[in-house]
Amino acid sequence: MSTIGLIFTLLKILAAIFVFGIIILVHELGHFFAAKLMGVKVNEFAIGMGPKLLRFGKKETVYSLRLFPIGGFCAMEGEDTESSDPRSFGSRKVWQRIIIIVAGVVMNLVLGFLLLVILFATCMKPDDNGKVLFSSTTISRLPETASSYKTGLRPGDKILSINGKRVITDQDIAILMQSDEDGVMDLVVRRNVNGKSKKVNLDNVKFEIKVENGRQYLIYDFAVKGIKRTPITTIVQAAKTEYSLGIMIWRSLGDIVTGKYGLNQLSGPVGTVEAIGEAVENVTRQEDIRDGLYPLIMMVALITINVGIFNLLPLPALDGGRLIFLIYEGIFRKPVNPKYEGMVHAIGLALLMLLMLVVTFSDISKLVA
């Protein structure tokens, strides 16, 4: 690799680490600001894990930057151990502690929403008529010779679900249809029948499948209506897209649990940094910068939403695990012994670090393969 190529590769990695660091920073800032708002003492606010690279702060909170950009933490007084400090985490009411715990997730979702608003407001290109349109889920054109028309679909139908899974955006349609194996699906649509809007169940709607180079591709035989971009529709589209991405993430997590996807199909920090780096490099290749920024911003939005949702999982050491303990305390009016809770989170953290190592090894193996 030439010197210029090496420098460019390093810049890509630094850009990717910067993006990943911002996502972590936003999450931890949610905990930090919520803790301060509730009067909880924060002992350390750190970005990254492992040995400290930088440390500053002379008052009660130490701010640090650590070696490995794979996480971060907001260490609160009495969070994992008993503390007599009147400003400890455990001294606050259950509802206050719940707000502190979920604040990180909320900040990630807010960041994802803002990124999507920026994306749709600045990176969408006009059509041949000079209009910027969002894709709806309502069919505008469908030839009568199409397989889906012959099996029940009609122009004007608004697709509500595919194979029992809810449809919010055109992206949902694409994902659900492409994941179907035989091209025969059950749809629920909203249709104008005799001047009234009604839900209609369409069973066994068929779409043609083309096989090319050993892979099969479902052929879309319809087009959807466009929605004119305005400030209101931009906000609505961003909200719908975030919801759609969130549902997609939940479904993917469920597929991992059921064994549909293996560990070798997961991406950890290395794989994420590589993907972001490639997206950043792609921006420099485009004549119109919007063609490069669109997939980059969409990826970053997906990652920050993913970080937020993943942290809600009811697993030890994650925000969702801590939330379970708080819900237990709220119901039974008795907290779990901090010593035992701390042990559970410590074991959970160790298992998560082990999983991180396995996934990172898989990422590296893919890169050198």
Q: Which residues are catalytic?
A: 28
Residue 81's φ and ψ, nearest 5 degrees, are -135, 165
Query: Dihedral through CA 259, CA 264, CA 266, CA 267, nearest 10?
Result: 180
The span from the CA of 169 to the CA of 241, in Å, is 7
Q: Which residues pair with 134 in a beta bridge?
A: 227
Q: Spell out the alpha helix ranges (H) of the chain.
A: 3-37, 94-122, 147-150, 170-178, 231-257, 269-285, 289-311, 319-332, 338-368
CB 269 within 8 A of CB 361: no
The span from the CA of 47 to the CA of 54, in Å, is 10
Name the residue among 316, 312, 311 with its Cα closest to residue 343: 316
The span from the CA of 174 to the CA of 240, in Å, is 15
Residue 69's φ and ψ, nearest 5 degrees, are -80, 55
The span from the CA of 257 to the CA of 163, in Å, is 20
- The amino acid occupying position 234 is T
